[in-house]
Structure 1
């Protein structure tokens, strides 16, 4: 193997393009043994009859990358590069040449050693992962980061370089953690960045007022394949109609039938949510599906994002109406509960200071003038009464467990205390501190876990209600 002429070689490979081109010599027997690509490419019909050699032209592969790959073919040595970009280029080139072992090695090396680079160069990473989606590990790795950190992509200065295939992959997924209205706005931003040379970091809808017909046509052409992936049903009708009018789009480009919402939770699926909605409405049969589910959820708190402390729970979740709490434990449980009422840290109780106020008016005036208190406010934990709360388990997805509050225990359904987090019953499912929870079967009908002491890996609180209430 060499970049110079070799009298024993019968293959000439020209790698690179324009001013950066280099010729390599190789042996057909060696190349054929390493991939199906070379077996096909080095057939007799591609042989130069005059000189008796095979000539391959690879303009998509940089000469430096091809030299490393050729060295791998001849020596079998793993290519562990210090440069993330070179590693990504080797991955793409090895895929083109069907060097499956090298592609797998490069993919694993990228994920293990260069994840920060992949995430900080998200557009380039997505373009490779989505256009070669049989790089399954890289695809899942980069897409999952994007779904959880969408503004890392949509606020990127090189957003315009994101190709259509990658955008379609993103829009097709249920996992993108944005409201559908925000997804639409991000799609518009990407589309405009594709045909406008101006910096759109400070884009405003008012700029559209200066557009000509060719701008609207360019937008329509850029966005046409993506619009059917927008979940029209989950965007306020008056909002999307204004957008259609503003950008001169055709309303019939949108799919207007009801579609499932994107997942708001990392812990439960839309199918799980439909089951919970059915339990809320006390449906014994004909459970809701993802399409017929009438409830909408809003993520109020995620432990890994917002923190696991009790104070954080009360800060984000008190007085937010009905909620679902879901926890995933290191023991393998996926359990939670539904509170149809508000969470609250405490109730304010008025304590009377002077024998139930059996005093004369002159004494009252004296005490008032000199600021002697008659009343004190105390923080006092208390139970909320309800017959509609329940706890549940999705640990076994094929056999979910529902546990409603016992009739005789409805006065102890929900415990409100500033010193503890979400608490169902006195101890059926309670957050004691940070990621330490307990579950002692008492006030609710069925046991949802065999563990009494729970260490939580992740937890979420979701606001739960009809669309107009969230």
Structure 2
């Protein structure tokens, strides 16, 4: 029989923390403006970081050891210290950024238990915030040796939406470990030749001594680049490139490859059935989202908002047909890019995930009604503009037949104000913008206020898709699909 009294033990240890009589350690934080007292025996048995630090610090004349952590805030360190002593962390009413910073501090102090708990908490309950601040988080966490769950969470997003990282302005500042963790994935959704281009671009950016003109490179220059990319080159799927790609892209940099590999690549192009000495990696898998047909067994719907009949109607509008496609001859695949209930409702999430995607349909389920409204944009969404209208004759907005909504409404663009790419400052509160229909939230969450809007007069498009008296609205969910032509 075992009697356990952990609550009382925790309370007594926290009381020890506040006792100023017997401390022998001072930790200075926040640029030495704040300080905390502690006990070396508690610190070193609870944290391998503090054990190593205390072993290397000589006590002062009062037999006190001083640890300086200037970059840690007093608020964060107070929580860390109370966890070390009492095993309790109170996150009531804490902002997500505070939880994230606390996780980084716990990782720095090698508090594995606390780090893992906070990492799981962020992934399971704060996914929207993580996606909204994706670029900032992604570039930072790969400076750390741990945080494996968060790294996997981020990479699971990037492999499906590689433009988030590879087309970002700060791509070349990516940590080597982050780049390697991506290009080794079998499910990275980029053509292999583009992966090679990005790897070369990243390698050149890390090597400032290389001549700007590739034709001027010496043998030593190629050797330098080879050394820089030694962790990346083994993960390229060379034997799944076409002959044109090898000639145009690989051959100019053949000097950074091992001689046997270059020999095997050429042999494979000439005699593909003959075995080679080099390691042949499998081709990358292609993720495909097909619309289910009636002949198939029931399975999870491709959308939580629209039906196959709606998809057929939207496809008809895209092709400007007068007769609606049947379910068996829909010419397009609706490939899911974003779902609010999965990816979050922050406006910035839309721009981060949909950046670079063209031929997209935005679908919105209006709160409190049966309305499903949306818009089609054949042009690419661009999060890197200062705010710019895009002109196209092929965009349209619509309302779909659903529940009490008896008929669908199609409204085609009638002027030059078809689709608007918001400025970076505007993306914090503003989502997709189709002239007379846009998504907006002062709370930076489309479900928390009534700031989405449809014009009742049809200024930019032929007609209104909602009654003029409907006003602004909130949403339950929204989805963005990329419309891809089916191959026969």
Q: TM-score, structure 2 length as denominator?
A: 0.46
TM-score by length of 1: 0.48
The structure having more radius of gyration, on CA atoms, is: 1
